[in-house]
Amino acid sequence: MNPNLKAMIQLLDDSDEEVVQHIEDQIRLQGVELIPHLEKEWESSGLNPVLQQKIEGLIHELQFELMKNRLQNWKETGGMDLVEGMWIVATYRYPDLSLAEIKETLDQLYYEVWPHIRENLHPIDQIKVLNSVFFDQLKFGANTKNFHAINNSFINVVLENRKGNPISLCVIYLYIAQKLGFQVFGVNLPNLFVLTYKHEAIQFYINVFNRGLIFNTVDIDNYLAQLNLPQNESYYQPCSPIEIVRRVFRNLTMAYEKAGELERKEEVEQLIRVLD
């Protein structure tokens, strides 16, 4: 490391606030390239908790800016790769997470499902086969014990634990279904994210949070009536990957609020505004 840079980082715990402010501004100006150097200094400053805290804060700031830029770029280039969007969400808490590894894990799940699929089955029967493998063999399921857990919104954790909330389970299920060639898409129902199979004259819905329960438009009518909500076309039709990622972020704000992590909540609200 450049000796001047090392000396500059060491001044972060200076008693003069103006000096500290100047150093922080200089580090912010140099951007994400400094993250490895900051991490190295953090490791070697174990006996100086004040310095460690300052370094942690700056690393988080730089990583957050990097994430916002990624999110902006994803949106501006169409935001069609849902897995990439979910990876960007997860880098908020796991900044070193690899997109390639997430996709590799998802592909491995697809290869476990694919041999069980038979041609010429009715779409409902195809979904029943997918349900059987996804829930019984691969052991994915609803995280009912800790529904509002922060990690339910991070695809890497859900892939590892095989437990998640409605939207995270739907994203994984959706990836497999679409890779199998099924015309399956996300649907933004109030209080519950579901999927729809929609192709030509056939349309039905899949509640992944309830082990892939298959239902129809009348069930959505009844569900909305129970919530005293008017029928809206968006509750019945496919939504975009950008809408899905936006909803994941909204779930995350609620999770951070329940956990009392209000600074994190405010940061995630900034990310929602990037997508608005």
156-187 per-position pLDDT tens digit: 999 999 999 999 999 999 999 999 999 999 99
Q: Please give the model's pTM, rounded to 2 decimal places.
A: 0.88
| pLDDT value of position 10 | 67
- Name the 3-class secondary structure at 48: coil
Distance CA(113)–CA(175), nearest Å, equals 12
The CA angle 137-138-143, to the nearest 5 degrees, is 120
What amino acid occupies position 109?
L
Q: Looking at residues 265-276, what average pLDDT do you find?
A: 96
Lowest-pLDDT choice from 50-54, 108-112, 212-216, 271-275: 50-54
pLDDT tens sequence across 96-149: 999 999 999 999 999 999 999 998 899 999 999 999 999 999 999 999 998 889
What DSSP string runs through 137-156? IS--EE--TTTT-GGGG-HH
CA distance 57 to 28: 11
- Residue 7 pLDDT > 70: no
